[in-house]
Amino acid sequence: VVSNEPAGVYCLVEAADPDGPTPLAGQFYMLAAERGWGGEDGRPHLARAFSVCRVRGERLGFLVDAIGPGTARLAELEAGEGLWLVGPLGIGFTLPDESAQPLLVAGGVGLAPLVVLAETLRESGREPRVVAGFRSSAHAGAASLAGPEVELATDDGSAGHHGLVTDLLAGLLVREAAEGAAVYACGPPAMLESVRRLCSEWSVPAQLALEEAMACGFGACFGCVVRTRTGYRRICVDGPVLSAADLDDSWLSR
C-alpha cells in the first residue's frame, strides 16, 4: 500500500504492483490485507473483489466502502502495509464506436470502474457524459474522481438531483436523443436493472459491470454466477462486464 486517502466517505487505497500487467477499465482484483485478515469471528477469510479505480503506472487504486469485516480492514490500511492482490481479472468494458456518445452511469462505490473508463476515453480524445448517484453529499465527494463535470443525484437531495441516478439517465436519453449513445453502468443491482430497462426501451446498447460475492475471482469456485439469457454465467470470467442484451429481468430475482 502506497497511500490511503479519503474520497467522499470512501477510501481510495493505492498499492504498487510493479510486476503486474496493466489492467483495462472494468477489470478487477482480489484483495486481502497481508496482516490482520481474519479477526473477530474468524472473518474476513476470503479475498474481496474490487474493480480497479485508478491506474498510474504501477500504482493501482481501489475504492473501498467499509461495510463489513473485509472492507473495514482494507479501508484502514496505511502506507507501508502489505496488500495481497491477484489480477487483473475478468473482462472489462468494450470501448464504444468512434461515433457513439458514451454515457457513464455510476451508483455509489460502483463509480470505481467508470473512473478508469472515463480516463481511457479522454486519453483517446473523447469526453464521456458522467452521471453518478450517491446516498448523500458526503458520499458524493468521490464523484470528482471521474472528472470535473459529473452530474449528481442523491437519495437525500443534499447534492444535485434529489432522486435516482437513473432519473438523470432518463433525462439524458430524452434530451440528447438516445440515438448514438452507448451506456456504461456500475452500481447496485436495482440500479443496473433500471438502467437495463431504460436502455432496452430506448434501444441503446449498454454494458453493465456486475458484482457478486466471489470466493476465488478466477473461475474455480462457480460461486458468482448470474442468470443470463444463456443460463448461469460466472461473473469473474465471463464478466464482470456483461452486455445488457445478455440479461433479461430474471437476473435480479433471488
Q: Does 86 bind another protein (CB under 8 A)?
A: yes
**Residue carrying C-alpha cell 468494450:** 94
Q: Please identify which residue in 212, 243, 245, 246 interacts with another protein, judged by CB under 8 A.
A: 212
- Distance from C-alpha of 88 to C-alpha of 170, rounded to nearest angstrom: 33
* Nearest-approach distance from CB 190 to another protein, in angstroms: 15
Is 77 in contact with 21 (CB distance < 8 Å)?
no
Helices (DSSP H) in 111-253: which residue ranges?
A: 111-123, 137-140, 165-175, 189-202, 235-238
* Nearest-approach distance from CB 29 to another protein, in angstroms: 12
* Nearest-approach distance from CB 92 to another protein, in angstroms: 14
Q: Please identify which residue in 56, 122, 162, 222 interacts with another protein, judged by CB under 8 A.
A: 222
Q: Please identify which residue in 223, 243, 245, 246 interacts with another protein, judged by CB under 8 A.
A: 223
Compute φ and ψ for 215, nearest 5 degrees: -90, -40
Segment contacting another protein by CB under 8 A, of 4-12, 74-82, 122-130, 220-228? 220-228
Q: Please identify which residue in 20, 188, 189, 219 interacts with another protein, judged by CB under 8 A.
A: 219
Q: Residues 38 to 67: which contact another protein by CB under 8 A?
A: 38, 41-47
In the numeric block, which cell numbers belong to residue 190?
A: 436495482
Compute the CA torsion angle 40, 42, 47, 50 (nearest 10 deg): -30
List, in sequence order, every residue forming a beta bridge with 232; answer none if it has no partner. Answer: 227
* Nearest-approach distance from CB 218 to another protein, in angstroms: 5
Q: Please choose, from the candidates 145, 94, 138, the residue with its C-alpha nearest in 3D space to the C-alpha of residue 115.
A: 145
Given CA atoms 199, 91, 235, 67 in this order, what sign does their dihedral have? negative
Nearer residue to another protein within complex by CB, 119 or 212: 212
Size of the site for another protein (CB under 8 A): 32
* Nearest-approach distance from CB 32 to another protein, in angstroms: 7
Q: Please identify which residue in 16, 84, 126, 243 interacts with another protein, judged by CB under 8 A.
A: 84
Residue 113, CA distances (Å) to 197, 214, 240 in order: 21, 17, 10
Q: Please identify which residue in 89, 115, 132, 209 interacts with another protein, judged by CB under 8 A.
A: 89
**Residue carrying C-alpha cell 447496485:** 188
- Distance from C-alpha of 136 to C-alpha of 127, rounded to nearest angstrom: 26
Q: Does 237 bind another protein (CB under 8 A)?
A: yes
Compute the CA torsion angle 31, 33, 36, 40 (nearest 10 deg): -20
* Nearest-approach distance from CB 217 to another protein, in angstroms: 8
* Binding region for another protein (CB under 8 A): 32, 38, 41-47, 84, 86, 89, 212-216, 218-227, 231-232, 234, 237, 254
